[in-house]
Amino acid sequence: MESSNTLNRRDFMRASGSTAAAAIAGTLALPAILRGATPASEPVRLGHIGIGVRGIQLLSAASSNPGCKVVAVCDVYQPHLRKAVGTANNPDVKSYTDYHDLLNDPMVEAVVIGTPDHWHEQMLLDAVAAGKDVYCEKGWTTSVAAAKRMREAIRKAGKIFQLGHQGRQLAAADVARQMLLDGAIGEITLVNLGRFFNGAPDRPPWRWYGSFSDFTRPDPQKVVKELDWERWLGPAPMIDFNERHFWHWRCYFAYGTGQAGDLLSHEMDLVQSVLRFGIPDTCVTHAHNAFWKDDRESPDTWLSSYVFEKQNCSVTFEGCMNSRRQQTPEFIGRNGRLIFSDIGQNASLFETYADGPAYRPARYPQPEPDFFFTPGPEHRRPDHLTDFLNCVRTREKTRCNEDEAFIEAATLLMSFESHRQKRMVRWDAQREEIV
């Protein structure tokens, strides 16, 4: 029989969860400008570069945000540029096909870069040299050397930077972090992550056209007439026009790092948000095209294992484009598990469970969660773009600033290099290199 001054595990979890939630609520009791209210000064004047799949989403968010005004848009494909002009919510918006012209526009205070990854470094360097603050989509870049140059340029110019990991706008990671620090599930030794997709034969992963749900192939003859192909390639190897490379660039390593820079980076950013361990010590990746036998270079199956040696913690990532199952972020401790409700960038809820089997036959009662977190009004915080806009005005650091971006880049590139070199890689913290 329990004594009156002894908490059982369920009561402890409820208590620690309430304490964590209260602590986070206190940290979120911010001035109005940091809660997402419109800044007192005039809206930030934005220029958007790259209006493709993700770029048009960013533009739509900006055009409806009272903290900014879209004054310029840029794309090398005319249909995208026309769509951008119609989405900008500004009849006087200027349109450009050369991003240098946008950067030279004195009306532009800050830029949003939504181009393929192979363009991120040069556009960011040019933007900060032109005196602009920068919001850039993930993955940050395609080499550690580039990440170093980007970080140094931002620091030297004193510019505000935000990397586009929108999961940082959610309070759940902060509440989970406090609970783990309080020992809610014991020492964390393993984290499981995953991303899965199972498209129909006529809707293979990463083969969309202009939006995540559009699989209707445009006439390539018309596309090439309305596209500045050479300018789109930029720093990538010069090749004749290839519509599959243009529309489906994530499938090819000339323009990005495949699942590492797209899906894994989101999941590992949540791990960083919760644990804040920084760059892992080692990584080994096994990847191959197991199902989609088209001309893609980036494997459809991507398995990475990281180790944080000083923290005695391992992280696994499973990427599979032949299944609809879901592996939401799962933090495993000696006394239980903390499981988020959704993929990294959407993980707004979580539950904790006592230690036990992940599967129980239907004839046995399923375990009930010890604690369930759902955000309330006290957890309100500005969305990711608004955080950037607020910091442009206050000159404070953003949530996913250049230091966090460097951690993201090094982490995803360890996975990519392990696959490319077919071996385990290690992070040399002194030299800041993958070895």
- Residue in 125, 54, 381 with CA at minimum distance from that of residue 62: 54
Does residue 298 fall inside a structural domain? yes
Q: For position 6, what pLDDT does the model report?
A: 33
Sheet holding 282-288, edge to edge: 371-373, 350-354, 336-340, 330-333, 188-196, 313-320, 301-308, 282-288, 425-428, 433-434
Does residue 154 fall inside a structural domain? no
Q: Which two tokens mark 212?
A: 């995540």
Q: 72 - beta bridge partners? A: 47, 94
| Inter-residue contact 434 to 260 (CB < 8 Å) | no
Does residue 189 fall inside a structural domain? yes
Per-residue pLDDT of the chain (435 residues; tens, 9 = 90+): 333 333 344 444 444 444 444 444 443 433 333 334 444 368 999 999 999 999 999 999 999 999 999 999 999 999 999 999 999 999 999 999 999 999 999 999 999 999 999 999 999 999 999 999 999 999 999 999 999 999 999 999 999 999 999 999 999 999 999 999 999 999 999 999 999 999 888 999 999 998 898 999 999 999 999 999 999 999 999 999 999 999 999 999 999 999 999 999 999 999 999 999 999 999 999 999 999 999 999 999 999 999 999 999 999 999 999 999 889 999 999 999 999 999 999 999 999 999 988 777 878 787 889 999 999 999 999 999 999 999 999 999 999 999 999 999 999 999 999 999 999 999 999 999 999
- For the whole prediction, is pTM greater than 0.75? yes
Does residue 357 fall inside a structural domain? yes
Domain that holds residue 353: 168-203+256-381+403-434
Q: How many CB atoms sit inside 10 A of residue 164's CB?
A: 23
Q: Phi and psi of 257, rounded to 5°?
A: -120, 25
Q: What letter would DSSP give residue 264? A: I
* Strand 188-196 with 161-163, pairing: unpaired
Q: Which two tokens mark 62?
A: 């900006």
At 336, which CATH number? 3.30.360.10
Does residue 38 fall inside a structural domain? no
DSSP string over 176-199: HHHHHHTTTT--EEEEEEEEE---
Does residue 428 fall inside a structural domain? yes
Does residue 429 fall inside a structural domain? yes
- For 260-312, write each residue's pLDDT tens digit: 999 999 999 999 999 999 999 999 999 999 999 999 999 999 999 999 999 99
Residue entry with tokens 């977190």: 373
The CA distances from residue 232 to 163, 241, 299, 309, 366, in Å, are: 22, 10, 24, 41, 53
Name residues whose C-beta falls within 8 Å of residue 217's C-beta, 6 or more positions apart in sequence.
209
Does residue 354 fall inside a structural domain? yes
Q: For position 41, what pLDDT does the model report?
A: 60
Cα 382 from Cα 392, distance rounded (Å): 14
E strand or H helix that includes residue 315: strand 313-320
Q: For position 321, what pLDDT does the model report?
A: 96
Number of domains in the chain: 1
Look at residue 78 and give its three-state secondary structure. Answer: helix
DSSP string over 269-331: HHHHHHH---S-SEEEEEEE-SS--SS--S-SEEEEEEEETTTTEEEEEEEESS-------EE
| Inter-residue contact 299 to 173 (CB < 8 Å) | no
Q: Which amino acid is at 355?
A: D
E strand or H helix that includes residue 426: strand 425-428
Q: For position 1, what pLDDT does the model report?
A: 36
